[in-house]
Amino acid sequence: MACLGGGFIIILLNALLAVAATATTASGTCGFPAVFNFGDSNSDTGGLSAAFGQAPPPNGESFWGRPMGRYYDGRVAVDFIAHKLGLPYLHAYLDSVGSNFSHGANFATAGSTIRPQNTTLSQSGFSPISLDVQSWQFAQFVTRSQFAAKVNGVFNGLLPKEEYFSQALYTFDIGQNDLTAGYFSNMTTEEVKASIPDILNQFTAVIQSVYGQGGRYFWIHNTGPFGCLPYVLERVPLKAPDVDRHGCGTPFNGVAQLFNEKLKETVAQLRRDLPLAVFTYVDVYSVKYNLIAHARKHGFERPLVACCGHGGKYNYNAKYGCGSMKTTANGTAVLVGGSCEDPHKRIIWDGVHYTQAANKYVFEQIVGGEFSDNGVPLKLACQTKP
């Protein structure tokens, strides 16, 4: 048999990529049948709550009127993504009660990192379900869901079809906790910066693993300006010269920007290494920082002050967080971590996370592709160009 020349192979790869990049429906959109999400609390829809106890009220008050597994007053970014694609909100993979995974699953948990942390949740606040664990859960989900569907038809309406795994959108929003974990373990800014290459190497390994399971369309958020979040500003105090005119920590945001620069380079390399995949890198940092810097212009107020919390400059107290109760001298439990009057006008929910209103604003800015590195909007994320 004749040996195929390198030129033919390149032509074949380009042809396959062209087919993958134009896998759109008659309406001109990608028609993603499912979303599989990986990340931390920025996109957790109930994973940590299922594993370690429900997020307490008033979480969930702005949309569901009760806690729904999210450490927010309402919806998170991936909720808006699913809704825009015409899909149901994603159930957490770890939530075994009442979940339907026919159109995707969410492997994110609040407190997750890319690199595994050598601490427990109670010691550090970081989830043991790091990104590598999430990828292992996904690999099991792929094989076990198809086996279950074949041996017992009752699961057909609850699990994704086999072809969905190659047609789905894979969303990632993770990395912030790796950076804050460094600061919280007394690393210097330079030491945190030095950890970024290894963090992104491990991120790459997970993307390659998901690709090996059939994933082809990737929507990747960069990390936000965590130097504007009360839980960081309170725990790692800064001197006045290190605080910008909007009240955010310059060293922290500088690290976030460096991480994002290297993440963007990582995505570019993944495009070269995995030519049959389509990657969209989304700059949520710029959107979030602009929102905080120009809060009033966008209809918000008190941009660095938590809506739900207890006391202090930022209405944030690590001991008494959102929903916390305190026992009085006579034994009565009193809510001390209550919500503000109007969460819809606030950006920060609990000192760590954004409000639903802020999440909605961010989503509205990124959905059209203006903050995608390739200019691709969400509904065309199966294509390399808009």
CA distance 224 to 374: 19
Q: Are 127 and 58 in contact (CB under 8 A)?
A: no
Which one of the listed residues 41, 49, 339, 372 is annotated catalytic?
A: 41
Maximum Cα–Cα distance across the chain: 89
Q: Are 151 and 174 in contact (CB under 8 A)?
A: no
Which one of the listed residues 79, 95, 173, 350 is annotated catalytic?
A: 350
Burial (CB count within 10 angstroms: exposed 0-12, middle 13-18, buried 19+), residue 181: buried
Active site residue 350: yes
Residue for token pair 């309402």: 74
244, two tokens: 């910008």
Burial (CB count within 10 angstroms: exposed 0-12, middle 13-18, buried 19+), residue 58: buried
Active site residue 353: yes
CA distances from 201 to 71, 131, 205, 314, 374 (A): 29, 12, 6, 35, 22
Query: Which are the contacts of 359, defined by CB distance < 8 A and separation ≥ 6?
Result: 72, 74, 75, 76, 77, 79, 80
Which one of the listed residues 79, 91, 353, 372 is annotated catalytic?
A: 353
Q: Are 375 and 367 in contact (CB under 8 A)?
A: no
Active site residue 132: no
Query: What are the catalytic residues?
Result: 41, 350, 353
